[in-house]
Chain A
Amino acid sequence: AQSVTQPDIHITVSEGASLELRCNYSYGATPYLFWYVQSPGQGLQLLLKYFSGDTLVQGIKGFEAEFKRSQSSFNLRKPSVHWSDAAEYFCAVEGITGGGNKLTFGTGTQLKVEL
């Protein structure tokens, strides 16, 4: 069965600093990987996804992620963080068991931005 690990529960960065959120996955075949963001009191919104091609994928709000098969990682990055990026970030891997594209989520990383 697939699994996702997000080793950092909380991360604090200063506004304008760079950001990297870690994600490691376990999946037997070619993974379909996603990053979602959850703002306080809101549902989840897709930031970006990867399933083939260029291993560096661009998403919304200036985020990017790099797929590294050798490390089973899909880390999320942003060159310069804005205060509005404070939110919880979830990495997910898609698996197929019995039909439907089902997502397995990591436990999330809470990002705090200091002004």
Chain B
Amino acid sequence: NAGVTQTPKFRILKIGQSMTLQCTQDMNHNYMYWYRQDPGMGLKLIYYSVGAGITDKGEVPNGYNVSRSTTEDFPLRLELAAPSQTSVYFCASSYQIGTGRGNEQFFGPGTRLTVL
């Protein structure tokens, strides 16, 4: 199993450009997440999905969009890149049955994005 994979690893965008960060997991996990990590701030949840076709906002969703058409893929879209979106982005997945808690989240290696 490759686990959670993310592409690209690095990207530089100009202000106003758009891009999609790709995330794929091969563990048949139903839950998927997008986080951003800024220095000294820990990880903040952007969006999450509890299954194909179902997504919801996290703590910092502004400026981002997501979709989940398959169990495996959970792309994150930046429509109009801004310097404030310079960050490291992590995708994660977990398997949850019903309202079960305490499930491990598996993280991808991250995408380092710079907006200039």
A25 contacts the other chain (Cβ, under 8 Å)?
Answer: no
1/0 per residue, CB under 8 A from A, across B1-23: the answer is: 00010000000000000000000
Pair B107/A44 contact, Cβ less than 8 Å: yes
Number of residues on chain B facing chain A (CB within 8 A): 28
Closest to A44 in B: B107
Pair B102/A32 contact, Cβ less than 8 Å: yes
1/0 per residue, CB under 8 A from A, across B61-105: the answer is: 000000000000000000000000000001010101001111111
Closest to B90 in A: A43
Pair B102/A90 contact, Cβ less than 8 Å: no
Number of residues on chain A facing chain B (CB within 8 A): 25
Which residues of the partner chain B approach A105 to less than 8 Å between Cβ atoms?
42-44
Which residues of the partner chain A approach B108 to less than 8 Å between Cβ atoms?
43
Can you name 25 A-B pairs with beta carbons within 8 Å?
A: A4-B42, A9-B40, A41-B110, A42-B109, A42-B110, A43-B92, A43-B108, A43-B109, A44-B43, A44-B90, A46-B104, A51-B101, A100-B96, A101-B31, A101-B94, A101-B101, A101-B103, A102-B45, A102-B58, A103-B43, A103-B45, A103-B105, A105-B44, A107-B40, A108-B40
